[in-house]
Structure 1
Amino acid sequence: MSNKRQLDDAGLDKLLAEAGIDPATGVTAYEELSEGTFNTVYRILRPAGDLMLKLSPDPAAPVLSYEQGLIQTETEFYRAARGKVPVPEVVHAGDDFLLMTALPGTTWFSATEPLDRPRLRRDLGGLVAELHKITNGGFGYPQKGLVDSWDKAFLAMIDDILRDASHFDVELPCRAEQIRAKVLARREKLLGVQTASLIHFDLWDGNILVEDGRITGLIDGERAFWGDPTAEFVSLTLFSELDDDLLEGYGAPVDRELLALYRVYLYLIMVIEATPRGYDGPENEQRSRRVRRHLLRELDALS
């Protein structure tokens, strides 16, 4: 099962025309990209410069609570970050699609060129530090509505994902009340976050572009929110520990207790999203065991 939806050439032509681009004279070809399991992405080949088109899932497809309206959030992320860090330029945005410029490079995850990983991790830390200088007066997911404090925003995020677990009948390693209690026990720490920074929250190697030994883009900003910079380090160190190179480039310490709390949140998402997305087979079983193992480790760290 897949939530992704496809358009034929006529449908793609229509969207381009809506964006003010004549497909008859400005487009060489459409190429659907195979990466990703949520949105559908097309590369639009043009002599004037390639574009990327992202389509949101079928409206009838089951999604998690926070996954509604992600196209609007990705649009906000790029517009806020443009000029501060390398992100695509928004060409046109609709209710269920986003047209943007294509950036040079391939994903770090798929790169075949030799890479100086320590230097790139330092560079990445510096880019993240610049990203976090972008701030807002409210906290939370843009598509859900912002609130006036980070503790309220994060507790709402936890409540939503725990309701999703119940809705999709996903068994968790401990009761929802216990997980929620671990958040409430750290409310004072959450209240200490006074500034809402722009958080990408999905900066694994598959969403970082590289070319000629440098970082050329941060992409897929649809899961962004305004909140605690510490939360960024969850995806930056997915299934691994904080590394000195990243921290050196970032130039600030990371609260390990809050990091464990935010890791719990992401691992909950990863456990629960497998059901509405219809993941199955041996590969998913292996992935599920790995995520649950890390989820239990972080829950234990918060005991």
Structure 2
Amino acid sequence: MLDAVDAGDELLLAELEALRLVRERTKVPVPEVVFVDRSHEVCDADYFFMTYVDADNLNAVSDTLAKAESDAYAEGLGAITRELNTIVGAAFGSLTGPGDRTWRAAFLQMVEELLGDGERRGVVLPHGYDVIRAVVAAHADSLDEVTEPRFVEWDLWPGNCMVRDGRIVAIIEHERAFYGDPLMEFGFAGSESSAYGDATAFTRGYGRRPFTAAERTRRRLYNLHLALVQIIETNFRAHTNTEQYEWACARLRETVALLGR
């Protein structure tokens, strides 16, 4: 499989580092990198080859599964996510560094960079940009509980999970991974918003105890960040309909209300 990254070195390097870390430090199945070319001699972009995964995309077959089968896959994703989260980094933020000393600093920068992208493109949010900044700042103290940088896959939803014969045989698309708070993993999103699905089976597979009040606040902040990503990326990806934008705006309004605004 050829994976060409038009966004530049950062995403490609992040994915290569994520694949290396997962292969060297866990037993989680991922494709093997077989060739990397950053010379730009063949094409005007960095690229790499990785091994082909002979399997079905879990999201594509989800409608054909019985509830017990869906729950089994969700539990499996929970267990895989927990294993990924055992990887410890030196600093919070990018896998390739330099990173931040605190999770609060790293997360606030992630949100600010995202908001900056939206402002530059004139993306309309259901709440003003200053309102979003104020909501995040009001709850930023909850981020200080996170003191150890852990590998966070972040984009591990069924669409990035490959299955065959009832088993998860690979996870793909690792360019958004970073060092942060494991509670930011996508599988936990449904714990604060049923619109993202039922997180029960995932949480059971992860082996997670019930959330504390501070952890629930953090998960709401992470849902806010996720909704912002889903809104703002519709502009950068030049979506031709408003379905995702409108859905994500509803999630943002929902999460801001949970955070007290």
Question: Does TM, scored on the shorter chain, surpass 0.5?
Answer: yes
**Alignment partner, residue 122 of structure 1:** 75
Matches for 1:86-235 after TM superposition, within 5 Å: 86-95=29-38, 96-111=46-61, 114=65, 116-142=69-95, 145-233=98-186
Q: Which of residues 233, 252, 260 in structure 2 aligns to 1:295?
A: 252
C-alpha distance 202-58 of structure 1, shift in aligned 2 (>3 A) = closer
How far apart are the structure 1 equivalents of 2:121 and 2:188? 24
Shift of 1:276: 2.1
How far apart are the structure 2 equivalents of 1:273 and 1:73? 19
Contact 1:204 1:235 in 2 (8 A): no
Matches for 1:235-274 after TM superposition, within 5 Å: 237=190, 239-253=195-209, 254=211, 255-274=215-234
Aligned AA (1:196):
P
C-alpha distance 205-122 of structure 1, shift in aligned 2 (>3 A) = same
Matches for 1:14-33 after TM superposition, within 5 Å: none
Contact 1:91 1:101 in 2 (8 A): yes
Per-residue CA distance 1:208-258 (angstroms, 9 max, x = gap) = 011000111110011111100000036764832443211111012343221
Q: What's the % identity of the aligned pairs? A: 32
How far apart are the structure 2 equivalents of 1:297 and 1:228? 22
How far apart are the structure 1 equivalents of 2:146 and 2:125? 28
Gaps of 5+ in 2: 39-45
Aligned AA (2:178):
F
Q: Highest Rg: 1 or 2? A: 1
How far apart are the structure 2 equivalents of 1:114 and 1:293? 28
Contact 2:189 2:223 in 1 (8 A): no
How far apart are the structure 2 equivalents of 1:266 and 1:161? 10
Contact 1:75 1:93 in 2 (8 A): no
How far apart are the structure 2 equivalents of 1:233 and 1:242? 12
Contact 1:107 1:209 in 2 (8 A): yes
Q: How many residues align?
A: 241
Shift of 1:58: 6.6
C-alpha distance 236-207 of structure 1, shift in aligned 2 (>3 A) = farther
Per-residue CA distance 1:132-152 (angstroms, 9 max, x = gap) = 001101111236741111000
Aligned AA (1:291):
A
How far apart are the structure 2 equivalents of 1:97 and 1:211? 27
Aligned AA (1:271):
I
CA RMSD of aligned residues (A): 2.1
C-alpha distance 143-180 of structure 1, shift in aligned 2 (>3 A) = farther
Contact 2:188 2:199 in 1 (8 A): no
How far apart are the structure 1 equivalents of 2:96 and 2:129? 24
Greater RCO (Cα-Cα under 8 Å, separation 6 or more): 2
**Alignment partner, residue 75 of structure 1:** 16
Aligned AA (2:165):
D
Aligned AA (1:195):
E
**Alignment partner, residue 42 of structure 2:** none
Instruction: Give the helix-richer structure, 1 or 2.
Output: 2
Aligned AA (1:92):
F
C-alpha distance 231-58 of structure 1, shift in aligned 2 (>3 A) = closer
Q: Give TM-score scaled by structure 1 length.
A: 0.74
Q: Give TM-score scaled by structure 2 length.
A: 0.85
Does the residue aligned with 1:217 lie in a helix, a strand or coil? strand
Gaps of 5+ in 1: 1-51, 60-67
